[in-house]
A and B are shown apart, each in its own frame.
Chain A
Amino acid sequence: EVQLVESGGGSVKPGGSLKLSCVVSGFTFSTAWMTWVRQAPGKGLEWVGRVKPNVDGAATDYAAPVEGRFTISRDDSKNTVYLQMNSLETEDTAVYYCACFGQGAWGRGALVSVSS
């Protein structure tokens, strides 16, 4: 069974940092393009960014609102993808989902709340 399980969500003050993890099982993680998507309360979905497999240099792409503040990385030995979020802003408050579009799989999400 394909599973993606996010963790690391929580509350943080503006300017703070948080790191989300997503552990994957049920498919070959090392060849998967992994993506983070977020959904602010009552809003639509917004792509955050993605990381390609190590064979593609683990190259990353980011959405403009998070470029330079967020970093996506992967650890194939742990079947885990990470989202390091720095300089958090109130507008970053959202449920963050990890997904593998190639497998048609999404996690249940992790809530990140940024407020003073």
Chain B
Amino acid sequence: DIQMTQSPSSLSASVGDRVTFTCRASQSISSHLNWFQQKPGRAPKVLVFGASTLQSGVPSRFSGSGSGTDFSLTISGLQPEDFATYYCHQTFYAPITFGQGTRLEIK
């Protein structure tokens, strides 16, 4: 199975900050990498698919990059509604696997 490792596991930041999360795959997954945001009791919200394509309706302050094994998600200019947990997952091989998540907290 492909292992997905996210870092950091948690991050404290302030409104207006620029933050970057990373996700590393244990083997190459080309660009088959998605990012989504999860808030308690809510449906996961997809932010980026195909490593760098912004899902329709997602604000442009979110951006994704990377290919192969190393990927990142950047939020430029944090808004209050952005404080949540962020996950990456690969869709290149079954079983589909997820990172353990990065919890973004208000400083």
Mark A residues whose CB is within 8 Å of B: 4, 35, 44-47, 50, 61, 63-64, 97, 99, 101, 104-109
User: Which B residues are CB-close (under 8 A) to A101?
Assistant: 34, 49, 91, 96
Nearest B-chain residue to A46, judged by Cβ:
B98
Docked-complex contact B98 and A105, CB < 8 angstroms:
no
B71 within 8 A of A: no
What's the dominant secondary structure at chain B's contact region? loop
Q: How large is the interface on B (under 10, 10 to 19, 20 to 34, 35 or more residues)?
A: 20 to 34
How many residue pairs at the A-B interface have CB separations less than 8 Å?
A: 46
Contact A106 B34 (CB under 8 A): no
> Is B107's beta carbon under 8 Å from chain A?
no
Beta-carbon contact of B101 and A44 below 8 Å: yes
- A47 adjacent to B100 (CB under 8 Å): no
Q: Which residue of A lies closest to B34 (CB)?
A: A101
